[in-house]
Amino acid sequence: MNKPLWLQTLSNWVLGEDPHLRRHVLLVLITLQPYAVSVGVILHSEYLNLLPHDMAQALIQASILTFLGVFVLVRSGWSQRFADPVLTFPHALVTIALCMAAYAQLGENRGNVMILIAQTIVLSMFRLKPIQVLMLGVFTVLTLCGCVMWMALDPSANYPASSGWTHFLVGGSTLLTLSLIGKWVSDIRVRIGRQARELQEAVDTVKQMATSDMLTGALNRRMMTELAENELRLIERSGSAMCIALIDIDHFKHVNDHYGHHAGDAVLRSMAQHAQGQIRQVDKFARWGGEEFLVMLPSISATEGMNAIERLRMSVAQLEIPGYPQLHVTFSAGVAQAKVGEALEHLIERADEALYEAKRQGRNRSLLAQTELKSPSATSASSSEAMT
């Protein structure tokens, strides 16, 4: 169900339109709940005359300014430069410092502050690194210790030292234990995240191996066959045009025999990388086998397909092979325009006939395939002549 326009506008104004920014702003807004509770505790303490009016207002203003400051830094996008755009660690440190300031002033309501500190640690551990969670716990215990010492030594605080140190031991040990549990949870979260990334990398590698040729980085034969058959089905429904070009590198055996297979691999890689940079984004380029490549050119006529392959052929003739400046690559190609209802095997056979005819005529050229296959005997004769 679509949101009303006014609600969508308000949402974009508060959260932003970028999905990552919206998520980060939402995480900041979650902290409104403990802020609201802390303000309620302060107001209640003021009502019970446990807290002077001026101190209550100062604590409330500090809480509001802290939240608004973090919200503005995150909502403006300024914090996106950091590893943690939500600013969880500094936000938690300031929040705990404010809670300790309130702890020193709230008298009988001090227990509520300890709960708010614990809630801050729990909320933070799902964003912080394990060492940061532990640092947060140590900071909490140290500030609590300092707060208890200050109140115990200050006669005006009217704070019984014996009960204060008992409060510190119980509350401090509880908060430290909570931070250790938070560190353990954070360790698990980090480990699961790392395993998830490793699993995704493994899936991506397997996917690449299943769809790409490992030497050239081009699509492999299986993937190209699937894409070409899908395109032929689309042609059958819509009647749009599509061409394929079967490309064969000229004198590739000579390269392997005289310069070695490393040179042959370099030629194949350079050819594939160059060709993929020359064709359109919608075109598909695959290693078909050995030194043969197949190019699929959707939504293009025979004349346009020939022009595209000719441009590619002339640019490849100027290609420099890294590490082998003496090598110059050319190719022969057969281009065939698909017919409605034509099987992929038949389309490739027509392109293959044109390719062998191009080789028979002297190589380094592109020819357009006939609309029908030649007789088997003529095809065999042309193939034998081209290979000699």
- Pairing of β 331-337 and β 284-289: unpaired
Helix axes 130-153 and 110-124, enclosed angle (nearest 10):
160
State phi, psi for 297 to the nearest 5 degrees: -120, 90
372 is catalytic: no
Scored b (16 or more CB within 10 A) or e, 266-303 reads bbbbbbbebbbeebeeebbbbbbeebbbbbbbbbbebe
* The amino acid at 69: G
Question: Which one of 231, 291, 353, 357 is the catalytic residue?
Answer: 291
Contact 27, 127 (CB under 8 A): yes
Residue reference for tokens 């755009």: 85
Ramachandran sector of residue 362 (left: φ over 0; alpha: ψ -120 to 50; beta: rest)? left
Cα dihedral 219→223→224→227 (10° resolution): -130
| Contact (Cβ atoms closer than 8 angstroms) between residue 330 and residue 317 | yes
Q: How far is CA 159 from CA 49, 145, 164, 368, in A?
A: 16, 14, 7, 97
Closest by Cα among 158, 67, 140 to 97: 140
Q: Supply the residues annotated as catalytic.
A: 291
